[in-house]
Amino acid sequence: MKIVGVSTVVVGTPWRELTFVELVTDDGLRGVGEARMLNKTDTLLACVTELAGRYVIGADPFDTERLAWRFSWEEYGRAGEVTQTALACIDQACHDLIGQALGVPVWRLLGGAFRDRVPAYANGWYQGDRHPMSYADMARRVVERGYRGLKVDPFGSATAELDHRQLGVAVDIVAAIREAVGPDVALMVEMHGRFTAATAIAAARALEPYRPEWIEEPVPPYHVSALRRVRAGTTLPIATGERVHELSEFREMFEQGLVDIVQADLTHFGGVTAIQKLAGWAGAYGLLMAPHNVCGPVGTAANLHFAIACGNYKVLEHFNDFADPWLSEIVEGAPSVDPADGCFRLPTAPGLGVKLDRAAAAARPRTRAHFNLMAEGWERRNSGPVPPSGEASV
């Protein structure tokens, strides 16, 4: 079996663009992968086109290790977010093709079923007024949907530092959520890598009474020394890794004990092939996997198959019940959370088990959304792109 065609389609939402990559084989199979490329969709499309022509056309989709090696070593330049995302889209599609060719779901290729359901936590649900009671009401609705975990960034557009008022509002929001959902629902607190170490420590200590499941990316991913200070300054578990794109970049964090929950994004980390290696390495340090997942249904399906087979998996992030719920309409077989227990069920169809409906995808054209975490009101996720004056359309 050889890959003879590569095609892309971009689906737009008010706050994200989802890039789908389909691989076509000489025997007529179609495999699909997906990524949300933050604010650089055109760059990703160019990378997919260039590298697919160089390495993918004519390749056997079973040769995923060889493909990953070529994307790194034969390119020579250091792989980063864009290249690793292009590789991840293609790697997902290759696994989809392998599963279809063998007539088995992808999780069987990854070691079989370690579990038959995967706990989910909700994100993208806090799209109302930034007020404690508003957040409490929205949080109750999340739990009513069956979720046993939810994540929130209560810090608004704050950057680097928080003054006393800003920290007070954030703490009041978290306190209201905790009171609304009760003591047994996991509450993850997102910091989006925006703070200095001192600010992250102050925020963590103020939030400790509300028992967050973790604090996420308290400092920028390239500030390992700052992360070391945060580790020393709080008892809360630390989750990080969504903006780490290569295996070796986790070495220092693992060896120094700076992370508890590993959050590499499968769709920015080279795909299923790479994240399986990371899971094994994390397991050697006694760490749990909770990959970042801001994808639509295909990327979520890839994460689900990985989670089914991964022994040190914790929980799967899910946006699509709250942000852009119509995304399930652009594929057949979209994974969904069972409201009975807040878990994804074991997928049984061959491959990833999802089929892109190209006509439905075409009905949701590109929005050229610019998602800006530094903008006031970003959490509403419903404002369209505002190009700078004089920017040309592409």
Residue whose tokens read 């200070």? 229
Query: Looking at this protein, which amino acid is placed at residue 287?
Result: L
Instruction: Tell me the two tokens of residue 57.
Output: 């056309």
Residue among 95, 268, 292, 318 flagged as catalytic: 292
Q: Establish whether 292 is a catalytic residue.
A: yes
Q: How many angstroms separate the CA atoms of 139 and 137, rounded? A: 5
Q: How many CB atoms lie within 10 A of CB 117?
A: 14
Q: Establish whether 245 is a catalytic residue.
A: no
- Residue 178 half-sphere exposure toward CB, CA atoms < 13 A: 18
92: nearest Cα among 72, 116, 68: 68
Residue 356, φ and ψ in degrees, nearest 5:
-70, 130
289: nearest Cα among 214, 200, 220: 214
Alpha helices in the chain (DSSP H): 41-51, 64-69, 81-102, 106-109, 132-144, 164-181, 197-207, 224-233, 251-255, 272-284, 297-309, 358-362
Residue among 192, 245, 305, 318 flagged as catalytic: 192
Helix (H, G, I), strand (E, B) or coil at 355: strand
Catalytic positions, written as ranges: 192, 292
